[in-house]
């Protein structure tokens, strides 16, 4: 143990993980994932797919989830800075509908573990960001759901820099709020 620092929040299962970084004159080295270390901090997940995206400032991706094939996700930023968010959609959870957010960047090297049963999304704060994540299930086309980023019932406090024009995919402009998710 000791290779990972773990921060938890009031939403059970959500974790912010900071790996130990070994800097030297050449740069640095760190382990971003090591199964035994993650098992020690309570994340015993088999990841089956890695994804990477690049986005410019003001892009909001999400809030996305898989309906029938939910995924655990381990996310991090390798270039730039984002505000990463998850929303608890686990039926019967005492924190259903609550959100948690964290700044992830290439500088702080934090990782964010988002368990199954959560919607997930992020806002790019820097001019450009590269975002990578591991998933515990494969992407299933046609199984994706989403929530509006600005649903007042959820109330996410996005740190949108003044003067930033928000950029969305077409599908992300059409998601409903938490009440429409509950009524499905």
Give catalytic residue positions: 64, 133
Which 8-state DSSP code applies to residue 164? Answer: P
Which residues make Cβ contacts (< 8 Å) with residue 142, sequence separation at least 6? Answer: none
Backbone angles phi, psi at 57, to 5 degrees: -55, 135
Rounded to an integer, what distance in angstroms lies between the CA atom of residue 75 and that of residue 105? Answer: 11
Q: Which DSSP string corresponds to 116-144?
A: TTEEEEEEE-SSEEEEEEEESS---TT-E
Q: What is the spatial distance between Cα 172 and Cα 138, in angstroms, rounded to a whole number?
A: 21
């Amino acid at each position: 143990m000791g290779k990972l620092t773990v921060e938890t929040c009031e939403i059970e299962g959500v974790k912010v993980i900071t790996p130990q970084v070994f800097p030297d004159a050449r740069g640095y080295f760190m382990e971003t994932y090591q199964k035994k270390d993650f098992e020690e901090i309570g994340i015993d997940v088999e990841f089956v797919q890695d994804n990477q995206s690049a986005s410019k400032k003001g892009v909001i991706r999400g809030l996305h989830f898989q309906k029938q094939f939910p995924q655990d996700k381990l996310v991090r930023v390798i270039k730039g800075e984002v505000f990463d968010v998850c929303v608890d959609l686990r039926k019967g959870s005492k924190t259903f509908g609550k959100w948690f957010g964290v700044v992830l960047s290439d500088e702080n090297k934090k990782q964010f573990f988002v368990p199954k049963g959560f919607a997930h999304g992020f806002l790019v704060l820097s001019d450009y960001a590269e975002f990578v994540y591991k998933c515990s299930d494969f992407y299933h086309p046609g199984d994706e759901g989403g929530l509006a980023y600005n649903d007042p019932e959820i109330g996410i406090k996005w740190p949108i820099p003044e003067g930033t024009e928000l950029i969305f995919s077409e599908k992300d402009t059409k998601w409903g709020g938490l009440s429409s998710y509950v009524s499905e």
